[in-house]
């Protein structure tokens, strides 16, 4: 199948597929006589795996590591568990940071009421005051 078909089957953009090839997450594909890349069902499954990992916000390095580990089915999965545990901790930290940001934005929003001019805007005044 050609890249457009692969994109439709997996829900990935053509640009993402090319990027994953460039990053060596997908193998280099054979080419047709017209120089089109030709993909097989194994690539569909691999791309779905990559997309699922990306939806979990795993980095390309983490995905690469998981793909390497997946090629060693007899190994213990401690490395996989540790990677996911670390990722969970990173997500928890980001959530905490985003909650702090949300509080700051709410405080900023509360500094201005309706029916004011831009000159009177408390939000703009606070933002300007914090630059100094």
Say yes or no: 126 and 98 in one domain: yes
Q: What's the structural domain count of the chain?
A: 2
Say yes or no: 62 and 110 in one domain: no
Q: Residue 130: is its pLDDT beyond 70?
A: no
The verdict on residue 22 lying in a domain is yes
Say yes or no: 48 and 23 in one domain: yes
pLDDT digits 0-9 by tens, 6-53: 999 999 999 999 999 999 999 877 777 777 778 889 999 999 999 999
The pair phi, psi for residue 115, each rounded to 5°, is: 65, 35
Alpha carbon 9 to chain centroid distance?
20
How far apart CA 79 and CA 65 sit, in angstroms, is 9
The verdict on residue 87 lying in a domain is no
Range of the domain at 132: 92-132
The 8-class DSSP code of residue 39 comes to -
Say yes or no: 59 and 99 in one domain: no
Say yes or no: 62 and 106 in one domain: no
User: Where among 75, 104, 122 does a domain terminate?
Assistant: 75
pLDDT digits 0-9 by tens, 70-115: 989 898 999 999 999 999 999 999 999 999 999 999 999 998 888 8
């Amino acid at each position: 199948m050609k890249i457009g078909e692969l994109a439709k089957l997996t829900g990935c953009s053509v640009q993402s597929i090319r990027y994953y090839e460039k990053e060596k997450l997908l193998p280099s594909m054979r080419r047709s006589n017209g120089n089109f890349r030709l993909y097989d069902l194994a690539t569909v499954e691999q791309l779905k795996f990559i997309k699922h990992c990306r939806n979990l916000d795993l980095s390309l390095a983490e995905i690469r590591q998981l793909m390497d580990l997946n090629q060693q089915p007899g190994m213990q999965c401690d490395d996989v568990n540790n990677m996911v545990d670390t990722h969970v901790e990173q997500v928890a930290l980001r959530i905490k940071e985003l909650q702090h940001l949300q509080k700051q934005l709410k405080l900023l929003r509360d500094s201005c009421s309706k029916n004011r001019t831009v000159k009177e805007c408390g939000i703009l005044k606070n933002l300007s005051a914090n630059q100094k």
